[in-house]
């Protein structure tokens, strides 16, 4: 498909996660964003990020006859203010804006947190499911969380003057996991031993994909479950979360893992809700929720989320949504650039 640059000015958007590096050609026309093409690379296969972008830009120029002057890159990493270089949290390469500008025809490269992209992109996707029947309060705050290779968190505050939401980054996914009971305490001790340190375990370490494997491995130490062929398969595949998820509907140990996991997800969501008061919506994104959406519709998620000594009624008033569209970040990167051009971020 050929694109006429007279009709729109596309930008290149990236979403660099611990598992996948997603890129997209995005344009804005008449107040709407359009994703014209997307590309995906395994993040762990990237040795030189600048070269990977150069290769992609050359491919697009060759196949689509398109060039770019602007690139927005969302990165799973701590980004404080305007950064020009960053190392993704779970990857071994660095991203440097100066290198990208030098190696391409682009004049502007912007680095932002990957969940800032989610917070900016959610209005432009259709695949959003409501977990409860609660009205959205106009002009209230919004929060965005999501677990995958890591655990992201961002929130939006409403600007009355600009009549739009302004995104705010957070590293709340790295806050310390809250121990409720003896089981939690024993799990934390097990995880500390596996991570070979005695540092506090974080919410990310519990809720990321590796956390699912850790919960499974910990349950195995209790020897309450039979040594089935499924158990051997999961152990031989180093407790891969996708495999545990695959068997969760009929294997008792896998089912128990996800019962525990969803309860932890609900507890983290509650912590975020109490911190950000997202009466305009708490949005759950990330690959784990998208692949296991039925678990979040189970009664236990909302029961645990709303359980609180003083604020049970407040938590019942928080509308909760699942974002099912993996491209939300690509739309969000483009919208962030729009906000930037208006001096709103």
Q: For residue range 47-73, what is the model confidence (pLDDT) as tens digits? A: 999 999 999 999 999 999 999 999 999
User: What topology does CATH give the domain 172-323?
Assistant: Hexokinase; domain 1 (3.40.367)
SS3 250: coil
- Quote the pLDDT of residue 4: 54
Q: Could you give the dihedral angle defined by the CA atoms of residues 192, 198, 201 and 205, in that order, rounded to the nearest 10 degrees?
A: -50
Name which of 150, 84, 68 is nearest 115 in CA terms: 150
| pLDDT recorded at residue 8 | 65
Q: 130: number of CA atoms within 13 Å, CB side?
A: 9
Q: Which class is domain 1-119+325-345?
A: alpha beta
User: What is residue 194's predicted lDDT score, i.e. its pLDDT?
Assistant: 83
% of the chain beyond a pLDDT of 90: 74
pLDDT tens, 130-142? 999 999 999 999 9
Q: Taking all residues of the chain, what is their mean pLDDT, rounded to a whole number?
A: 92
Q: Give pLDDT, residue 299.
A: 74
CA max distance for the chain? 66
Q: Which range, of 62-66, 74-78, 222-226, averages the lowest pLDDT?
A: 222-226
Q: With contact defined as beta carbons under 8 Å apart, do 156 and 168 qualify? A: yes
Check residue 196 and give its pLDDT.
66
Within the chain, residue ranges assigned H as helices are 49-64, 97-103, 114-121, 182-194, 203-207, 209-221, 229-236, 241-246, 252-276, 287-291, 293-296, 299-306, 312-316, 328-341
Q: Average pLDDT in the 227-249 region?
A: 89
How does strand 282-285 pair with strand 142-147? parallel
Burial of 68 (0-12, 13-18, 19+ CB in 10 A): buried
- Residue 256, both tokens: 């128990």
Q: 306: which 2 tokens? A: 């709303």
| Beta strands, E only, 61-150 | 70-75, 85-86, 95-96, 108-113, 128-130, 142-147
Report pLDDT for 6.
47
pLDDT digits (tens, 9 = 90+) for 253-293: 999 999 999 999 999 999 999 999 999 999 999 989 988 88
Structure tokens at 261: 């996991």
Least confident among 77-81, 262-266, 318-322: 77-81
Q: What is the DSSP letter of 211?
A: H
pLDDT single digits (tens) 176-220: 999 999 999 999 999 998 886 778 999 999 999 999 999 999 999
Higher pLDDT, 5 or 58: 58
CA pair distance 211, 324, nearest whole angstrom: 21
Q: Residue ranges per domain, the chain?
A: 1-119+325-345, 172-323
CA distance readout (Å), 198 to 41, 180, 194, 202, 215 = 35, 19, 10, 12, 18
Q: How confident is the model at residue 298 (pLDDT cuts 50, 70, 90)?
A: confident
Per DSSP, 201 falls in state P
3-state secondary structure of 123: helix
User: Residue 5: which pLDDT band, with cuts at 50, 70 and 90?
Assistant: very low
Please give the backbone phi and psi of residue 283, each rounded to the nearest 5 degrees, phi first: -105, 130
**Residue with token string 């305490």:** 185
pLDDT of residue 1: 43
Would you say residue 2 has pLDDT above 50? no
Contacts of 113 (CB under 8 A, 6+ apart): 74, 75, 76, 77, 78, 79, 152, 154, 169
pLDDT one-digit tens code per residue, 148-169: 989 999 999 999 999 999 999 9
Residues 6+ apart with CB under 8 A from 17: 43, 76, 114, 148, 149, 150
pLDDT of res. 7:
60
**Do the Cβ atoms of 14 and 22 come closer than 8 Å?**
yes
Inform me whether the pLDDT recorded for 238 exceeds 50. Answer: yes
């Amino acid at each position: 498909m050929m694109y006429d640059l007279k009709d729109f000015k596309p930008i290149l958007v990236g979403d660099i996660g611990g598992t996948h590096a997603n890129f997209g050609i995005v344009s804005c026309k008449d107040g709407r964003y359009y994703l014209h093409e997307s590309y995906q690379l395994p993040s762990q296969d990237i040795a030189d990020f600048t070269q990977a972008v150069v290769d992609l830009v050359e491919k697009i120029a060759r196949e689509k006859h398109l060039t770019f002057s602007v690139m927005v890159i969302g990165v799973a990493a701590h980004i404080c203010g305007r950064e020009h270089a960053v190392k993704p949290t779970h990857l071994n390469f660095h991203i440097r804006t100066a290198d990208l500008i030098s190696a391409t025809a682009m004049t502007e490269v912007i680095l932002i947190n990957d969940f800032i992209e989610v917070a900016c992109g959610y209005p432009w996707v259709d695949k959003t499911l409501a977990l409860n029947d609660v009205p959205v309060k106009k002009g209230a705050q919004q929060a965005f969380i999501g677990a995958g290779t890591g655990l992201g968190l961002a929130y939006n505050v409403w600007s009355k003057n600009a009549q739009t939401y302004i995104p705010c980054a957070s590293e709340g996914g790295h806050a310390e996991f809250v121990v409720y009971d003896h089981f939690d305490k024993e799990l934390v001790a097990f995880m500390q031993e596996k991570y070979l340190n005695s540092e506090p375990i974080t919410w990310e370490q519990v809720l990321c994909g590796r956390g699912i494997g850790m919960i499974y491995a910990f349950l195995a130490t209790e020897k309450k479950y039979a040594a089935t062929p499924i158990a051997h398969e999961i152990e031989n595949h180093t407790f891969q979360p996708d495999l545990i998820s695959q068997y969760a509907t009929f294997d008792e140990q896998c089912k128990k893992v996800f019962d525990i996991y969803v309860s932890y997800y609900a507890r983290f969501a509650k912590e975020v809700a109490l911190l950000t008061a997202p009466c305009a919506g708490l949005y759950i994104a990330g690959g784990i929720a998208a692949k296991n959406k039925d678990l979040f519709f189970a009664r236990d998620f909302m029961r645990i989320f709303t359980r609180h000594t003083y604020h049970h009624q407040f938590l019942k008033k928080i509308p909760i949504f699942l974002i099912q569209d993996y491209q939300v970040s690509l739309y969000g990167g483009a919208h962030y650039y729009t906000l930037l051009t208006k001096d709103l971020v």
